Amino acid sequence: MNSFYEELQLIIKQMSSYASFSLGKNELLACKPSFDKLVIIRDNKRIKEALELCFKYDSMPFNGIKDITIALENAHKGIILSPQDFLDIIDGINGTKGIINYIKNVEGNYDSISELTDTLIVCDKLLKTLNECFDAYGQVSNNASDQLRIIRQQLGNIDQTIMDTANNFVHTHHNSVVDGIISTRNNHVCILVKANDKNTYGGFIHGESASGMASYVEPKELIDLNNKKQALLDKEQAEILRILTNCTNLVAQNYHELNNNLKTITLLDVIFAKARWGKENDACVASLSDNKHIVLKRAYHPLIDRNKVVKNDYHIDDDVSMLLITGPNTGGKTVTLKIFALSILMTYSGMPITASSADIGFFDNVFIDIGDMQSVEQSLSTFSAHLSNLAYIIDHATSSSLILLDEIGSGTDPREGEALAIAVLNYLRQLKCFCVATTHYNRLKTYGKRHKDILVASVLFDEDTLSPTYKYVENITGQSNALTIAQKYGLKKQIINEARFLSKQNQSQEEELIEKLEKQLNEAEQLNQELKAKIQANEKLKNELEKKEEYLKNQLDNAKEKAEDMARKYIEEVKEQADEILAQIRNKQNDVKFHEVLAQAKELDNLIVEDNDDEQDDNIRINDYVEIKQTNQIAKVISIDRNNIILDLNGIKVRSKLNKIRKTNKKIVKKNIKPEKREITIRSMPLECNLIGMRVDEALDILYKYLDDAKMNGLKTCRIIHGDGTGALRKAVHQVLAKDKDIKEFRLGNYNEGSTGATVVTFYGA
């Protein structure tokens, strides 16, 4: 594979990284250009709409969409699906609903995208059933069936009975039980007793501790209970299997709808992955024309850094059948050729291209000969490899084809190479196909100028800096500048001078004059380009200043309107408070004269003090009035303790952080309501404390802080998760809880509360 196709695959790989799930990515990686006119028109219309949607509304959401192909095929064959399969199907249906809602909420006509989303079917009945049967973690829910709910209730009861019996055994035989440890072995609840006493209590021994000093014993009191629990567990698994079977059958009934949805969503993911890449690279979608021309504005190679790349305009009319590009080595001729090739093939693949605008005609095929295609395996030199490719192109090209040839005729004797190149170009002109070629040969430059159907162009070279500019200019031919470039790379001056002398000896007077003229034209064109760049920069600066001025004006107008709106709302709130006070006075103080009440209400309006944030002091002190940012309520500062502030909010004590309030000049309108003495802390509180994986001393520090916070926030109950393990952490937790006077009681968790791996705590006041 030559360098061009490697670059094309690299661009496609970039696009595939924007795909949302594996099917879209794989489909995009396999994407190839089409030469079917109708397909090209359809694909470019889709990508144009998708790119516009990405700029206006961001990309279409594909949340939760996964490759469920195997799950659907298994269900279709009657193979029972796993809970994870059902979760993926649930996510897929919800993702389908998200896609449909996205397109419903956009404004404008996006017929090509809507044509795809309109085929999507939301399997609501299936979704409802699966949501009832499975929770968010993939477990079969109690709501899946009445039978399962009853079984699990029975399991909860038997678990409680087992724990009560085990705890009673531990209490009764505390001299034999090691650290009060109750554990589970082989799905049976056991108690760790001293090895010497393991045969004392009957029952069954389930193993020894690591030290051999203790044994896990299932006393006879627990054997029957454990067996009943195991029977219930077997019934539970049988019921779960029945539920999974029913759900699998439902999926099979919706197989065609789900499978078609998956194919459509894959196509949409491919389209929007291309569009997201286009948005990221500020790309455009080319307009398509029946005329055989190529017009690219500010186009560049997408793999070159946008901050460094030179953007060029390319314009090939219908009157021109051939473009001949000349210029120095490393000057950008090959890159220009690749830009043409990429623009065509990416457009024919339904992809955006890196240009500000583009107009591209239809070709029945694109033949490319770019890069070094030397092959050791096939014993081909660079020249012979080019010839082999050229022979294939000539045999298969038609008058509707586009041909791109890099350094035609190179790699052999210059005179023979020039002759071969001219002969090939003559044949292609007679074929009337469209051709873009690059060359260093002087005879080809002269050949190009001699024919009206050939457009000559060049990439410019800066003689002062001895470096290429990568600027593309039409209607002039460029010099190879091989000697100048050789000088830049440090070749001895003596060699350079002799080479110049020998080169001039071989030049005719006409060729020497042409070279001088082309040099002057290049210098003039460079000055012209610099002038254009400065004019564009000045125009851009002018536009930016005008936009900034308009923006500041709009900001000022918006700020004024917002301030007026806030003031109006504030006055309305205060008046509502006044009306409320007036109603209270009417109801509770019948002996007060009505005109006196009205006078009091009027005085309430006078209590409003305009807020002036610009002049206020940021230091908050006791007795200052502040505004709670989240609710815009006014409160009075009662006390300050570092970053904690105690506020009086309408008679209620409120604890807040300094960063959640701001000082204000507004004042509280006092109401004749007896304040309720209580204190509120503005924060949230988790209902469980997870100590799994911690050392005992580390866990106890966390536990003490959590219990303090729970009491401060008025929690009634909470759960401490400590796990089973060796039982050391559970014992330490229970010792702390037993000493806490604010705790009413604590117990090990039920079946659905973490069993012996968790402790449920109840505080006084619950």
Per-residue pLDDT tens digits for 275-310: 999 999 999 999 999 888 899 999 999 998 888 888
Q: What is the pLDDT of residue 308?
A: 83
pLDDT value at 449 more than 90: no
Distance CA 579, CA 633 (A): 18
Residue with the bigger pLDDT between 765 and 107: it is 107
**Which strands form 204-208's sheet, in the order they lie side by side?**
177-185, 188-194, 214-218, 204-208
pLDDT confidence tier of residue 118, bands split at 50, 70 and 90: very high
pLDDT tops 80 at residue 253: yes
Q: Which domains does the chain have, with CATH numbers?
A: 3-123+254-280 (1.10.1420.10), 156-233 (no CATH), 287-506 (3.40.50.300), 609-681 (2.30.30), 688-763 (3.30.1370.110)
Indicate the SS3 state at residue 364: coil
Q: Are strands 661-663 and 644-649 parallel, antiparallel or unpaired?
A: unpaired
- Give residue 241's pLDDT: 96
pLDDT at residue 74, as a whole number: 97
Report the pLDDT averaged over residues 725-754.
88
Query: 674 falls in which pLDDT band (50, 70, 90)?
Result: very low
Backbone angles phi, psi at 476, to 5 degrees: -135, 150
pLDDT category at 670 given cuts 50, 70, 90 is low
> What is the average per-residue pLDDT within 631-639?
82
Q: What is the mean pLDDT of residues 470-480?
A: 72
Query: Which of 234-238, 583-587, 600-604, 671-675 holds the top average pLDDT?
Result: 234-238
Q: How confident is the model at residue 642, as a pLDDT?
A: 64
d(CA 460, CA 522): 7
Confidence class of residue 249 from pLDDT cuts 50, 70 and 90? very high
pLDDT, average across residues 40-60: 95
Here the tokens at position 166 are 């085990």
- In whole angstroms, how far apart are CA 537 and each of 62, 247, 425, 541? 41, 65, 41, 6
DSSP conformation class of 196: G
pLDDT tops 70 at residue 454: yes
Q: Band the pLDDT of 643: cuts 50, 70, 90.
A: low
Place of tokens 């309501």: 673
Q: Per-residue DSSP letters for 126-170? A: HHHHHHHHB-TTSPBPGGG-HHHHHHHHHHHHHHHHHHHHHHHHH
| Secondary-structure breakdown of the chain: helix, strand, coil percentages, each rounded to the nearest 5 | 50, 20, 30
| pLDDT value for 384 | 77
Statement: residue 16 has pLDDT above 70: yes
Q: Is the pLDDT of residue 472 over 80?
A: yes
CB atoms within 10 A of CB 559: 10
625 contacts 668 by C-beta, under 8 angstroms: yes
Would the pLDDT of 84 be above 60? yes
**Residue 678: pLDDT band with limits 50, 70, 90:** very low
Q: Is it the case that residue 592 has pLDDT exceeding 50?
A: no
Check whether 453 has a pLDDT greater than 80.
Answer: yes
Note whether 65 and 22 are within 8 A (CB).
Answer: no
DSSP string, 294-333: EEEEEE--TTS-TTTPPPEEEEE-TT--EEEEE--TTSSH
The larger pLDDT score, comparing residue 623 to residue 519, is at 623
Q: What is the model's pLDDT at position 35?
A: 94
Average pLDDT over residues 8-36: 95
Lowest-confidence pick of 85-94, 537-546, 616-625, 730-739: 616-625
Report yes or no: 425 and 437 within 8 Å, Cβ to Cβ.
Answer: yes
Which of 76-80, 196-200, 578-582 is the least confident region? 578-582
Euclidean distance between CA atoms 477 and 442, whole angstroms: 9
Q: Which residue has the higher pLDDT, 91 or 602?
A: 91
Please give the full DSSP string across 520-535, using - where no structure is assigned.
HHHHHHHHHHHHHHHH
Q: How large is the angle between the packed helices 255-280 and 83-104, nearest 10 degrees?
A: 60
Residue 589 has pLDDT above 60, yes or no: no
Q: What is the dihedral of CA 32, 33, 36, 42, to 10 degrees?
A: 90
Mean pLDDT of 520-549: 79
The answer to whether residue 648 scores a pLDDT higher than 70 is yes
Average pLDDT over residues 572-601: 58
87 vs 754, higher pLDDT: 87
Burial class, 590, CB count within 10 angstroms (exposed 0-12 / middle 13-18 / buried 19+): exposed
pLDDT in tens, 376-419: 344 345 677 778 888 999 999 999 999 999 888 777 777 888 88
Task: Give the Cα separation of 333 and 337 in Å (integer).
Answer: 6
Q: Which residues pair with 182 in a beta bridge?
A: 191
Residues 723/692, Cβ–Cβ less than 8 Å: yes
Over residues 747-766, the pLDDT tens digits come to 988 877 888 889 999 988 76
Q: How far apart are CA 682 and CA 693, in angstroms?
A: 31
* Share of residues in the chain with pLDDT > 90 (%): 43
pLDDT of residue 467: 60
Average pLDDT over residues 439-448: 83
Q: What is the number of residues in the chain?
A: 766
Average pLDDT of 532-557?
83
* SS3 per residue for 453-510: CEEEEEEEEECCCCEEEEEEEECCCCCCCHHHHHHHCCCCHHHHHHHHHHHHHCCCHH
pTM over 0.75: no
Residue 711 binned pLDDT confidence (cut-offs 50, 70, 90): confident
Mean per-residue pLDDT for 434-438?
A: 92
Mean pLDDT of 454-474: 74
Q: Which residue has the higher pLDDT, 85 or 663?
A: 85
CB 362 within 8 A of CB 336: no
